[in-house]
Structure 1
Amino acid sequence: MQDRANKNTFTFEMIDRLTEAFAEAGARQDVRAVVLTGYDSYFSSGGTQEGLRDLFEGRYRFTDKDLYSVALNCPLPVVAAMQGHGIGGGFVLGLFADLAVLARQSIYTANFMKYGFTPGMGATLVLPEKLGPALAQEMMLGAGNYRGEELQRRGAPFPVLPRESVLPHALELAASLAEKPRQSLVALKRHLSASLRARLPAFIEQELELHEQTFHQPEVRERIEALFGR
């Protein structure tokens, strides 16, 4: 992902291109693993300010474009090389990968409640699943920023490396995966992700219901205008 002008936020072009790239990779018989990464100090910055305004106005729901599950639903194993900041939905996007590598100095945050609305994109499922319930609840309720090195101290079960080492390590992991037969990788990925895939639709419905309760408050619009990008 490299949309420098928008710092890898979820523009419609980014969503469409990323969805297309995953579909192409999953369909190719000569591909056995996928590495998802960003550029420089950005992995993914989550929703755009315009997108948050559309959610507030009810013109858009995060399920209208299914970006959140592209890594989960990819038939091949996906390694998220989160070398840069993972913000809100951008962090969630990486956590839905099968394997993840974080950077010590980068920021990771589930900052939905910073703007006054409840988490979406399957965050309420995948954060507790990957980080443990206590840390996940703290991240979602408090909406704070966490450096990779702090998440490592708090028990995050991922390699946490200097930023310049994240992508090389992820490529090594992918190369190791690619040594295995493709059919076996697909079968094991399907089995290992089955529980998460089965539970996700119910969590998405619950998150949409919570958005109906929390997104349309005047204070939320004020926060979107005042706090976005800070």
Structure 2
Amino acid sequence: MSYHVVELREIEPGIVQLTMQDRTFKNAFSDNLISELASAFEEVSRNTSFKVVILTGYDSYFCSGGTQDGILSIANGKARFTDFNVYALPLECDIPVIAAMQGHSIGGGFVFGMFADFVVMSLESVYTTNFMRYGFTPGMGATYIVPKKLGISLGTELLLSAGNYRGGELLKRGVPFPVVPRNEVLKYALQTARLVTDMPRVSLVTLKQHLVADMKKELNAVVDKELVMHEKTFQQEEVKNRIITLYGK
């Protein structure tokens, strides 16, 4: 398959790297990025020689979350975040996924990374769940996965405050992931991937299915509740105005 904003490359035997590189939208969830990520993960699932995925971005961007048009479509009742289940692709992947979050990870982009099995952050990058900055409640499973991965206290703070946190600050706050200089993120992820490829693929798939089984069940119920909250919070005129005036600032 031909890819334009996602690069799929086997960098070592059994290790496939998916690089998001939609420079036009700074790796926001454009139509192209969504469709190519879905296709890339499908290709990964079909190739039984792959044992681990490294998911990363380009330069200083990992993933920027929803596009302005995409968020406004939800506000206008024309779409829901469940229309494209891109956020849970790492969770649904048969083999382990390492999110090498070398760059800024914003809103749904941060949530996307949290659904990976391993996470590596950079000291310099900004990490934020900024949904509430626009006045609407979080979606994409954020209210489930962020507290689960970061802990109740820090996860709740990120969701409610919608603040920007540098990786270095999160490291001091005890985030349970390795946080290294940006130029070392991929190196760290590759070292982890090499450990994983030493295992039999059948065993890797079997163990991952076991580890994420409860998460998948719990996530479905949370997503239903997030959709109910969206029905209420996206209807505010203030929310639409915030999306128009604050997006990208």
TM-score w.r.t. the length of structure 2 is 0.91
Question: For residue 71 of structure 2, what is the aligned residue in structure 1?
Answer: 52
Summarize the alignment of residues 124-135 of structure 1 with structure 2, pairs less than 5 Å apart: 124-135=143-154
Question: For residue 116 of structure 2, what is the aligned residue in structure 1?
Answer: 97
Partner of residue 222 from structure 1, selected from 241, 244, 247? 241
Question: For residue 82 of structure 1, what is the aligned residue in structure 2?
Answer: 101
- CA distance in 1 between counterparts of 2:234 and 2:216 reads 26
Query: Residue 18 of structure 1 aligns to which amino acid in structure 2?
Result: L
Partner of residue 198 from structure 2, selected from 156, 175, 179? 179
Which piece of structure 1 moves more, 192-201 or 34-43?
A: 192-201
Query: Residue 28 of structure 2 aligns to which amino acid in structure 1?
Result: T
- Residue 23 in 1 paired to residue 42 in 2? yes
1:193 shift after superposition: 1.0
Question: For residue 226 of structure 2, what is the aligned residue in structure 1?
Answer: 207
1:189 shift after superposition: 0.5
Question: For residue 25 of structure 2, what is the aligned residue in structure 1?
Answer: 6
1:28 shift after superposition: 0.8
- CA distance in 1 between counterparts of 2:45 and 2:53 reads 9
1:172 shift after superposition: 1.4
1:229 shift after superposition: 0.3
- CA distance in 2 between counterparts of 1:53 and 1:44 reads 19
The structure with the greater share of residues assigned to strand is: 2
Q: Unaligned 5+ residue runs, structure 1?
A: none
Q: Spell out structure 1 runs of 4+ moving beyond 2 A.
A: none
1:174 shift after superposition: 1.0
1:76 shift after superposition: 0.3
The structure with the greater share of residues assigned to helix is: 1
- CA distance in 2 between counterparts of 1:188 and 1:102 reads 24
1:228 shift after superposition: 0.3
- CA distance in 2 between counterparts of 1:153 and 1:27 reads 40
Query: Residue 241 of structure 2 aligns to which amino acid in structure 1?
Result: E
- CA distance in 1 between counterparts of 2:101 and 2:208 reads 20
Partner of residue 193 from structure 1, selected from 194, 199, 212? 212
1:152 shift after superposition: 1.1
Q: Unaligned 5+ residue runs, structure 2?
A: 1-19
- CA distance in 1 between counterparts of 2:42 and 2:167 reads 30
SS of residue in 1 equivalent to 2:100: strand
Query: Residue 107 of structure 1 aligns to which amino acid in structure 2?
Result: V
- CA distance in 2 between counterparts of 1:216 and 1:168 reads 45
TM-score w.r.t. the length of structure 1 is 0.99
1:118 shift after superposition: 0.2
Percent of aligned pairs with the same residue?
53
- Residue 152 in 1 paired to residue 171 in 2? yes
- Residue 110 in 1 paired to residue 129 in 2? yes
Q: How many residues are treated as equivalent by the alignment?
A: 230
- CA distance in 2 between counterparts of 1:165 and 1:109 reads 21
Q: CA RMSD in A?
A: 0.6
